[in-house]
Amino acid sequence: MPVTAFQDNKDFSNPDFPYISTISQKDHKSGYSEYNPYANALAQFDRAVSHLNLKRGVIDMLRCTKRELSVNFPVMMDNGDTRIFRGYRVHHSVVKGPTKGGIRYSPAVSLDEIRALAMWMTWKCALMNLPFGGAKGGVIVNPKELSQRELERLTRRYATEISIMMGPESDIPAPDVGTNPQIMAWIMDTYSMHRGFSIPAVVTGKPLEIGGSLGRTEATGRGVAFCVAEALKLRGIDPRGATVAVQGFGNVGSVACRLVNEMGMKVIGVTCSKGGMYRSDGLDIDSVSAHFASGGCLTSLTGTDFISNEELLTLDCDVLIAAAVENQITTSNVNEVRARIIAEGANGPITAEADETLNDKEVFIIPDILCNAGGVIVSYLEWVQDLQSFFWPVDEINLKLQYLMRQAFDSVLDCSSQYRVAMREAAQILAIQRISEAIVLRGIYP
């Protein structure tokens, strides 16, 4: 369907707007860093879109974020001082519906990181056939350095600052790195106080008592475990006794760890930010989980050996679950990676250059927008339940999750075969196709 508003404009010489281009960010005068997540997101986009016959205007539109909000806001600290914090909320696309994406609290938050995560959320939602576009938010802060009252004041002020973009029909946040159900409860309450009545559907990942969904806490890890099981089948590896290493023992990694262990897989190594533990004949996951939940460090369990995050990434294992943060496998360590399957429980744990090397080594990568999509699936289900004020039992939630994950996994496999590309490119090709079709059908206003 031709749409004349999308011109085949070949002029990409404007240095002030470098991310509207068909060429890789690596080639721009503004420079390129392998560790810049937005540059990696654009490089991935370039590879995927090269397989599609899209109008230049459509490509340009998908390369841009829809809107970006940067806020600097004061927070009263417990000692009476006032500190200024910086936060962001970015919408990448609103073509398919309201935006959806987490909020992270971390000292490493940057605008480029939030842009990349918002773009990946657009592809993730499209791949899962959810009626959402992608968004992301974050505050530059170490939440562990704040008291509970300081954290609440920061959250409520940040929620007020971004409320101009937020709403159950416009933008629905969720937890991410450094945030949790309690923080979502504060955001929901703050937004509701401004409106004068309770609006549970404005956020997902809330406590059950105020409109949260059963199965939401385990959803991302459950989706990761499902993808790992499917990948083992494809590679002809018996899950009983298959060896697994897990980087990141947070909400995603710990749940995935438990579930793959229940399937008969042998988890030989787990790490958190400070390192972790290794045991060649398999860890007792129940003991590890109990130890960690009680406040114990993953590096201090009797009967295990210490292992660093760097060492864990290079373990000889069948499956590596990368469930920490982005930029973990790079050109500096990719040649040492020995896993046959990598499941991206985190967003962007493999850089674009490292991705190429792993593909050449025929490592089967389950890309982030597929592998960790369980969270946004159940977030969607939570949003639907809040809107209709009717809630489903956990078994029904898990069945819906598995159904949508299987549909997406099989579709990506088919696309991979059709285009003869790796799973990441296939997943992004599918997602970009769906978004571009929606753009063309909607047209350009006015």
Query: Annotated catalytic sites, by residue?
Result: 136
CB 256 within 8 A of CB 279: no
Say how far apart CA 431 and CA 377 lie, in whole Å: 15
> In the sheet that 266-272 helps form, which strands lie side by side, from edge to edge?
305-307, 275-278, 266-272, 243-247, 319-322, 341-344, 364-366
Considering Cα of 28, then 31, then 34, then 39, what sign does the dihedral take? Answer: negative
CB 309 within 8 A of CB 275: yes
Per-residue burial over 401-435, b if 16 or more Cβ lie within 10 Å, else e, is: beebbeebbebbeebbeeeebbbbbbbbbbbbbbb
Question: Nearest-CA neighbor of 123 among 432, 344, 355, 352?
Answer: 432
**Could you identify the residue written with the tokens 């909000």?**
69
At 387, which amino acid appears?
Answer: L
Render 171-240 in DSSP notation, one character per residue.
EEEEE-TT--HHHHHHHHHHHHHHHTS--GGG-SS--GGGT--TTHHHHHHHHHHHHHHHHHHHTT--ST
Degrees, nearest 5: CA angle 230-426-42: 125
Count CA atoms closer than 13 A to 437's CA, side-chain side: 9
Query: Which phi and psi angles does 158 have, rounded to 5°?
Result: -60, -45
Omega cis (within 30) before 446: yes
Which residues are CB-contacts of 52 (< 8 A; sequence separation ≥ 6)?
Answer: 429, 432, 433, 436
> In this structure, what token pair is assigned to residue 180?
């949790």
Say how far apart CA 166 and CA 431 lie, in whole Å: 24
Degrees, nearest 5: CA angle 137-140-141: 120
Question: Nearest-CA neighbor of 101 among 395, 372, 282, 437?
Answer: 372
> In this structure, what token pair is assigned to residue 413?
């496999």
For residue 14, the 8-state DSSP code is -
